[in-house]
Amino acid sequence: MNLATSFPVSQRSKVRRLPKRGSRERADVYAILDSNILCHIAYVIEGQPFVTPTGYWREGDRLYWHGSSASRMLRSQSAGLPVCLTVTHFDGLVLARSGFHHSINYRSVMAFGRASRIDDPTEKQTAVEAYVERIYPGRNAELRAVDAQELKATTVMGMTIEEASAKVRTGPPVDDEPDYGLPVWAGVIPIRQVLGRPVPDPRLAPGTPWPGHLAPYAEGEGLDTVLSATAKAAS
């Protein structure tokens, strides 16, 4: 473990179960965070836990998400509540020779910190544009600017990652040694998030082409591969 390249650990973020599957290296954490844009954020209101699926993006050790200014989630988080932001890729079904050893392959990150609302309008505008640019590098140049009314209706949250850990399972099932001789099909059924054929808006202005900046979003591509590439292109 390299102190300079890894996130700190505490009881909160320690990978307890199967620690060999865990990592706190920034490179591992970033790789998982940068190949998705949908996370699940947990927060507590009056003792009740909530978990909400939310779009997010990363800049260095900062995570951002946004939503409507009327959102209960964002209003409650504005008070600087502790949150846990988890990103998960579901990579496969693992079929073993006994019910007990069935599993799933996945890549996930749990990141801990305190959310804070970004109030400065310029910073907010930069953030909203950064999110579009992170997914679709080059797209902002073709869009009209976000206006003051839209900025007002948008709440942007930011969180510095205080602790984070990645956890990954890959590969075949791990069965009990005597079970390997059983005539039971065992192995992995891979799962991938794949892009379909783009569906143009029925009200698309006549003659509007599929633009060059969307070339990475080709039908059949893996979402994680595309998002990793666009994250690199945008940074």
Buried (b) or exposed (e) across 179-193, using 16+ Cβ within 10 A?
eeeeeeebebeeeeb
Task: Scan residues 187-206 and list those touching its own copies (CB under 8 A).
Answer: 187-205
CB of residue 13 vs its own copies: minimum separation in angstroms?
10
Strand-strand pairing, 22-23 and 82-95 = unpaired
CB of residue 221 vs its own copies: minimum separation in angstroms?
10
Decide whether 5 or 160 has the Cβ nearer to its own copies: 160
Q: From residue 207 to residue 226, what is the string marking binding to its own copies with x (rule CB under 8 A)?
A: xxxxx--x--x-----x---
Task: Scan residues 108-147 and list those touching its own copies (CB under 8 A).
Answer: 108, 110, 112, 128-129, 131-132, 135-136, 139-140, 142-144, 146-147
The strand pairing partners of 156, in sequence order, are: 66, 118
Tokens of 116: 């804070």
- Which amino acid, 144? R
Give whole-number Cα distances, 56 to 35, 227, 229, in Å: 11, 12, 16
CB of residue 2 vs its own copies: minimum separation in angstroms?
26
Other CB atoms within a 10 A radius of the CB of residue 32 amount to 23
* CA separation for the pair 126, 118 (Å, rounded): 11
Among 59, 182, 232, 235, binds its own copies (CB under 8 A): 182
The answer to whether the CB of 105 falls within 8 A of the CB of 83 is no
- Decide if residue 97 touches its own copies (CB under 8 A): yes
**Piece of 1-9, 23-31, 56-64, 94-102 that binds its own copies (CB under 8 A):** 94-102
Among 50, 123, 160, 235, binds its own copies (CB under 8 A): 50
Tokens of 30: 């970033």
Task: Scan residues 56-85 and list those touching its own copies (CB under 8 A).
Answer: 67-68, 70-72, 82-85
Among 2, 3, 20, 53, binds its own copies (CB under 8 A): 53
- Decide if residue 99 touches its own copies (CB under 8 A): yes
The strand pairing partners of 45, in sequence order, are: 48
Decide whether 82 or 116 has the Cβ nearer to its own copies: 82
- Decide if residue 9 touches its own copies (CB under 8 A): no
* CA separation for the pair 34, 47 (Å, rounded): 31
Say how many residues make up the chain: 235
The answer to whether the CB of 136 falls within 8 A of the CB of 188 is no
Decide whether 7 or 136 has the Cβ nearer to its own copies: 136
Decide whether 5 or 150 has the Cβ nearer to its own copies: 150
